Amino acid sequence: MNEVLEELQWRGLIAQHTDLDALSDALDEGPVTYYCGFDPTAPSLHHGHLVAVKVMRHLQMAGHKALALVGGATGLIGDPRDKGERTLNTKDVVAGWAEALRSQLESLLDFTGDNPAQIVNNLDWTEQLSAVDFLRDLGKNFRMGTMLSKDIVARRLASEEGISFTEFSYQILQANDYLELFRRYGCTLELGGNDQWGNLIGGMDLIHKLEGESVHVLTNPLITKADGTKFGKTEGGAIWLNPEMFSPYKFYQFWLNTADEDVIHMLKVFTFLSREEIEELEVAVQERPGAREAQRALAEAVTTWVHGAEATERVRNASAALFGRSDIAGLDEQTLRDAVAELPQAEISLGTPFVQAFVDAGLEKGLGAARRTIASGGLSVNNVKLTDNELVCSDEHVLPGGIVLLRKGKKNLAVAYIK
């Protein structure tokens, strides 16, 4: 089997395929042009999109030609989903989101060197279609029975809400994307999530009908945890790649908190670490689970890929400072704010006794309890042990952003904001 396909299989990145042997032969013969589509249904990609981008990047590193399709047209329509009809966003909103996705994809794939990736937008050809062209040139090639039998369509038809013709027609538009890319760029491989299998097959069939050529489809699996549940959302929702929607600090912590039973699988899926490096980390998980070496490697690799090495260094420093392993005063304001955003909070004024601040932040039940903990060496301010029961908050204690970090013991943290 072709080397890059073997690598994808080892990493658990292949779910379904049309003819793996034929695809392997095609990849062996020379560069294959392939594409994956990303619809702008939100202002950012999320961590789930990284799986498809990872497959794209592996193929690109093996010398094949990457087309990243931003769905400026299909994003206006909306891919059918289980939860009912999507809200149709305005053209201006979708165009803005499409540009945001373009920018993110440009940072995740390689657009330089001898084999640069290329961004395409399906609005370029879809907006040229008239209703008559859509029905005559495309619609006549699709059988209603096949379209109605697709899993998502069948489920929506059986629901109380049903499905609109708008969303029902999405599969024709996606099939046409593959046809257009085949004609314009010689694209012969479409990638996508496993839930897109039916739509991907539709494009393959359309090319065979109109061009008489055989092309390929390959899907990546839905990433699940060891217990079978979906790997992903936090209490706050999706793991967005946009740092303004999900801070690099929270992003880093999300990967750092991966369970031992899941971390090796996630290293294979989401990082470019070699087999040897991952196998070494697997031994570390078994022999030194408390060190969390694999989790740190995962968090650093994915955060660096998405946000860059400088952001990773900032959040790593913030994490170390937050838990008393380095100087918290050296952090910049935004990183510090991100690091303390999930902590219990209190609002105090300059001149407030720290014993009162610990009570206000919920770390102590009363002033007497706070004084007793100080006597036993259990309270600290900005990682400096508090020894004076009467010490009050002054300018020298205030970190960038009006923040004062309060700690009880090693793990109980809170933040006081200066009014």
With CA atoms as reference, report the closest residue to 169 among 136, 135, 194: 135
Are 220 and 53 a contacting pair, CB within 8 Å? no
What distance in Å separates the CA atoms of residue 360 and residue 346, rounded to the nearest whole number? 6
Which amino acid makes up residue 170? Y
Run of H or E including 348 = strand 345-348
With CA atoms as reference, report the closest residue to 249 among 332, 164, 369: 332
Are 54 and 36 a contacting pair, CB within 8 Å? no
The helix/strand/coil state of 141 is: helix
Q: What is the full per-residue pLDDT of the chain (419 aa) written as tens digits? A: 899 999 999 999 999 999 999 999 999 999 999 999 999 999 999 999 999 999 999 999 999 999 999 999 999 988 888 777 888 899 999 999 999 999 999 999 999 989 999 999 999 999 999 999 999 999 999 998 888 888 888 888 888 888 888 999 999 999 999 999 999 999 999 999 998 998 999 999 999 999 999 999 999 999 988 888 888 766 567 899 999 999 998 999 999 999 999 999 999 999 999 999 999 999 999 999 999 999 999 999 999 999 999 999 988 888 888 876 667 877 888 888 888 888 899 999 999 999 999 999 999 999 999 999 999 999 999 989 999 999 999 999 999 999 999 999 988 999 999 98
Are 176 and 185 a contacting pair, CB within 8 Å? no
**Superfamily for the 248-337 domain:** Tyrosyl-Transfer RNA Synthetase (1.10.240.10)
Q: Give the chain's length.
A: 419
pLDDT for the residue numbered 87:
85
Residue 204, CA distances (Å) to 9, 369, 406 in order = 22, 70, 60
With CA atoms as reference, report the closest residue to 127 among 98, 162, 148, 104: 98
The helix/strand/coil state of 120 is: strand
Residue 87, CA distances (Å) to 19, 48, 90, 156, 379 in order = 37, 21, 10, 16, 51
What distance in Å separates the CA atoms of residue 173 and residue 232, rounded to the nearest whole number? 29
CATH number of 3-220: 3.40.50.620
Run of H or E including 406 = strand 403-408
What distance in Å separates the CA atoms of residue 149 and residue 411, rounded to the nearest whole number? 54
CB < 8 Å & 24+ apart, contacts of 1-9: 2/27, 2/28, 3/62, 4/58, 4/59, 4/61, 4/62, 4/64, 7/58, 8/55, 8/58
What distance in Å separates the CA atoms of residue 56 and residue 52, rounded to the nearest whole number? 6
**Positive or negative: CA dihedral 209, 213, 214, 219:** negative
With CA atoms as reference, report the closest residue to 323 among 305, 307, 343: 343
pLDDT for the residue numbered 156:
87
Task: Mention the CATH class of domain 345-418.
Answer: alpha beta
User: Would you list the DSSP string of 147-201?
Assistant: HHHSHHHHHHHHSSS---HHHHTHHHHHHHHHHHHHHHH---EEEEEGGGHHHHH
Catalytic residue positions, numbered: 41, 46, 49, 83, 86, 174, 195, 230, 233-234
> What are the boundaries of each domain within the chain?
3-220, 248-337, 345-418
pLDDT for the residue numbered 201:
94
